[in-house]
């Protein structure tokens, strides 16, 4: 089956595939060097979001990446890619550091949502997500967000307020899971396939709605070769976009980001 013929639900299943390449797979392939940094300096180092410094040639970047595990042990260690509030506070810390040293920020989105546990709520999960979006909106350096897998709910949106948003062809991006949508709107969690179509969560849907700026094709065949090709294309897009945004001053960068989210395509009410 050609990718163009895949249904929205089939893309959801591809995006959720446990064997799908993770954010760190792309970070390690795209950048010439990457050094991870840890902790929010308040509570602990939550491993569902990885932060650090990276380099392509002479250009330095700050990386903020949601990371699912590559196996069962790693998934447990990384809370299955569901960030706690300390993950977002860690991300905010490195956003501010990036602004101080004038480093562009690259975020990688791949989560089923922020962790909804009692402890996370007690430590201010909602506030941490809102603060992350607020800080990104006014950051004075260029930001690129890349949806590489499952971008769902506030957990994904929290690091998605960017000047440019790229999305892999078989990734998904939405404010809610299809299961949550069908349960809330129709009181029927079995209507997930119908929900996926209604939600307009595929890369093509979101490109047409002007939510994202570019779709990155996913070649078929060997996974490692596919990773190399996707990473090569992402690297090219990152470098060219940052070079373009270097022409803007700080106020223009912030205004560019504001205008992007104010002037998205017109949305129709989904019945």
Identify whether 271 is part of a domain: no
Q: What is the mean pLDDT of residues 222-242?
A: 95
Number of domains in the chain: 1
Nearest Cα residue to 87 out of 61, 55, 111: 111
Q: What is the mean pLDDT of residues 137-154?
A: 96
pLDDT for the residue 221: 80
Tokens of 30: 């795209």
Handedness of CA 92, 97, 102, 105 (dihedral sign): negative
Identify whether 91 is part of a domain: yes
Find the CATH number of the domain harbouring 157: 3.90.226.10
If pLDDT is split at 50, 70 and 90, which confidence band does 270 have?
very low
Q: What is the mean pLDDT of residues 110-125?
A: 96
10 Å CB burial of residue 135 (0-12, 13-18, 19+) is middle
Identify whether 267 is part of a domain: no
Side-chain-side CA neighbours of 3 within 13 Å: the count stands at 16
Query: Which positions ≥6 away from 52 have C-beta within 8 Å?
Result: 34, 35, 36, 37, 62, 63, 94
- Compute the distance between CA of residue 267 and CA of residue 265 in angstroms, rounded to an integer: 6
Identify whether 116 is part of a domain: yes
The answer to whether residues 106 and 68 touch, using CB atoms and an 8 Å cutoff, is no
pLDDT for the residue 3: 56
Identify whether 112 is part of a domain: yes
Identify whether 269 is part of a domain: no
If pLDDT is split at 50, 70 and 90, which confidence band does 172 have?
very high
Identify whether 270 is part of a domain: no
Show the domain range for 118. 3-262
pLDDT digits (tens, 9 = 90+) for 11-69: 999 999 999 999 999 999 999 999 999 999 999 999 999 999 999 999 999 999 999 99
The answer to whether residues 147 and 212 touch, using CB atoms and an 8 Å cutoff, is yes
If pLDDT is split at 50, 70 and 90, which confidence band does 4 have?
low
Identify whether 268 is part of a domain: no
10 Å CB burial of residue 203 (0-12, 13-18, 19+) is buried
SS3 11: helix
Tokens of 239: 């470098």
């Amino acid at each position: 089956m050609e990718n163009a013929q895949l249904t929205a639900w089939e893309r959801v299943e591809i995006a959720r595939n446990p064997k799908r390449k993770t954010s760190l797979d792309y970070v390690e392939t795209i950048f010439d060097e990457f050094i991870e940094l840890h902790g929010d300096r308040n509570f602990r180092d939550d491993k569902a979001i990885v932060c650090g410094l990276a380099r392509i040639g002479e250009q330095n970047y700050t990386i903020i990446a949601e990371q699912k595990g590559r196996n069962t042990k790693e998934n447990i260690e990384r809370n299955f890619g569901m960030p706690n509030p300390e993950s977002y506070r860690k991300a905010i810390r490195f956003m501010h550091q990036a602004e101080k040293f004038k480093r562009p920020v690259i975020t990688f989105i791949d989560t089923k949502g922020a962790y909804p546990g009692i402890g996370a709520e007690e430590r201010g999960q909602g506030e941490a997500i809102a603060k992350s979006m607020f800080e990104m909106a006014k950051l004075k350096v260029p930001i690129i967000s890349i949806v590489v897998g499952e971008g769902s709910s506030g957990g994904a949106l929290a690091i998605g307020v960017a000047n440019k948003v790229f999305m892999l062809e078989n990734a998904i991006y939405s404010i809610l899971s299809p299961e949550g949508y069908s349960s809330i709107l129709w009181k029927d969690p079995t209507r997930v396939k119908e929900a996926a179509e209604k939600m307009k969560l595929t890369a093509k849907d979101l490109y047409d709605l002007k939510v994202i700026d570019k779709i990155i094709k996913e070649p078929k065949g060997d996974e490692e070769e596919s990773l190399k090709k996707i990473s090569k294309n992402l690297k090219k897009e990152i470098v060219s976009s940052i070079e373009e945004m270097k022409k803007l001053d700080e106020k223009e960068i912030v205004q560019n980001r504001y205008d992007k989210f104010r002037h998205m395509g017109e949305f129709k009410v989904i019945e």
